[in-house]
Structure 1
Amino acid sequence: MSAQPNNAGPLDRKDLIQWKTDAWKDPGMVNWYSGRMVQSETTNLLKNAVEINTIRRHARGPKIIDIGVGTGRAALPLVADGYDVMGVDSSQAMLDETRRLANGSPIRLQVGDVASLPCDDASFDCAVSLNVLVHFPNWREALLEWKRVVRPGGRIIFDIHTQDHAVAAYGADKSQWPDALRATDEAGKFGLYMSRASIAELVEFADAQGFAIETVVPYGAFLGGGNTNWLLYESLEQKASWKRTLSWFARDQGLFDLGLFIEEAIVAHLAPKIAGRMFVVLDNRADPAANARFAADMAARNAALDSLDFANLVQWLPLAPEAMSAELDKLLKPLRSRHFFFLLFQCLLTRLPNFEFRGAVSPQMLRELSTWLVSNALDQKSTEIARGWSAELADKFKAGTDVTVGAEYNLVRALLSRYFGIFSEGRQ
């Protein structure tokens, strides 16, 4: 078995697990968390929609156990779908909140540890777990316990952070990772720690422990907050302007629809290195041949991404190129949606300047985005010149006051109109 995906010693690891287990037992913390889950702020609702939709697509019944049920984000929609659901959590306060939110819906709730479930062997058709194993380094041990309570041929669905994504962004040498990423990998910083798994680790684990990997679903390409896309970290994730853009998702239905489409029609069908998180769907049956096919398919998806040509990804996507570009064109009609998409487009081309977008968006939309890209570059160049022209000016300050302040506006306008020839002097 591979080494655990963190650098903590046995004592650190044990303490981390205990800290994570106890973190949500305080009723005040549970009350805050419950409110946060339904706040219409930033991308909260988008994240919830992506996660619940994915679980619903892959759940099997009739009997389901939700492990680490929390406030019932996954369990209550499954109850509404007609499944017989039992929720287990180490926190009685969490279970009390789930009971309140259930509002009389039939759900069984019981206190229990994620690694020691109060359940008989083979008593469920499916185990689901949402936002639990992302916090724990002992994901292998937990999955073996979950396997015990799921019948042969049953299913386990869980999410975890993606090691392949971190490596794609910054390489395997963790000393080269930015401090913010390294902090999530150090068990000593309990509040920041995030558990990660790679595709290779999942295949090795599945083969050794009698699982078949049904699928892996990447998600969280632009959710922000604790869901950093490390491929965007340098150019977008750290910027206040990007955070403001993400805040629009809470109030703009068109932008929400665009984000959901990108996540579910594109990101979910690519390789996990594209995004920071992934859902893993395991069937409780041994099938090394199926796991080998899965690994080969993941390698092919990675190769398609590395080709820098969207056309090579089409075979895995649910829509043909014409349907894909038509739907994106429709979703990109609002200016705010185009602005968001342009920021992603610009970031991708900055990182991968040779990426070929044909087939993803229509030729007309690609021309518009490309025009915006050129215009943005000229704006930045003009602003750079305007802000720097007075740096060495001898008379820049009079009586301690910078007398050049305010000159930048007219200078930028002059540069754009007279030097770059793209802006009318008469336009305000």
Structure 2
Amino acid sequence: MAGKCILCGGKLRNGICTECGMDNNKTDSAYRSQLNRNQCESAPLTHVHGEENAEPYKKPALNHPRQQERSPSDQDGNTAKKEMGAGTTPRKYTSNNGNTNNTVNFNSYREMSKRPGGTGMSAFHTPRDGSKTGLTVVVIAVLAGIFLVAIGYENRTEESITAEKIIEDPDYQDPFDYQQPYDYQQPYDYPEYTFDPYQYTTKELAPEGENWETDLGAGAYVVGYDIPEGQYIASAGEGMRLEVADMDSNVWFSEYFGENDNEVLQLDDVRLFTGAIVMVNGGGNIHIVSENAQAAAVLTPPANPLTEEITLTDSMVAGEDFPEGTYDIVMATDDFGIVSYELPKEQGMDYGLNFSFLMDAEPSVDYPDYTKEYKNAVLPKGTTVTADGLTVKLVPSARIISEDYQAFYDNYN
């Protein structure tokens, strides 16, 4: 099992990477040189990327609706289908924001008055005896409009007058004028952002409790049954990952442990509310410790009604090939690879929840993200478990949370 993939660093089986699938048997220099080869190496330094038949960018007119700038021919069929749905006729782009339901067909109205029995439209047909009355109405409407415009001009705010002066200034430059050169050498100060996984929760933890600590290996755990509710400090070594899913409390986050970028060695504020799902991945343990754990409120989970072990070598479906339930997934042979399980997709979804982890019969410090066993995998009816050519055993876990196995994943919705 020695050797690592030259592309991703994953484990090799017969020279094939079990993680990215690359064939590492091809060790000639030409093959390796292609890994980091850039398609632009042979092009001149002044070359520019662009699409064939691409039209040059045209700056949009100020305060001009974009719908008027595009014609139906400017929009390809794929875009039209995306907006209207497959199998429907693309809508026409008109001056009223694309709505053709109220678009007036003036030619049809002119023809209606000429046809025998045509009623015409009063808006386009003025009786002769009402010409004077109509003229009076028009004059009054014009005078009223002038009066309203005068009032609006006098009531302009100072901000609007200032904006007009700025735009009318001959030295004014449009801030969105893309013809102006941009100094790419000038550094841009991005606003500092700190992710707070608890910013949307309204729940609070009890300030007092008991001192409690434990080590969590790879597996799924439920707060209130396996772990007391409380605020924890979590620490772990390289290759470990902690995920907390608690939609009932509006909390979800995932953290990798290690010394690389975007990894941590310790989490000082892990708030676990009753009902949250805590998932651990990796070959070691995550140590959690709390000073306000609600240990007295922990419920004793029911015993697992299943007793039969299942040997799995390829893909099997819960409820069809083996009973649905809660299992520990354990390596059965001297091998390594990926094990995954996917829940049945819900109505209207393209796929269901999917979980995967790296497994190895003999975990080592060289590959700290591989584990030999994954505890408490809840497999509802219809869940497909895939061992990717490995031989693993599904061993009934010591406990379950409920025999409503599908409800276990409500915290992911």
Report the structure number with the largest CA radius of gyration: 2
Q: TM-score, normalised by structure 2?
A: 0.22
Pick the structure with more strand per residue.
2
Q: TM-score, normalised by structure 1?
A: 0.21
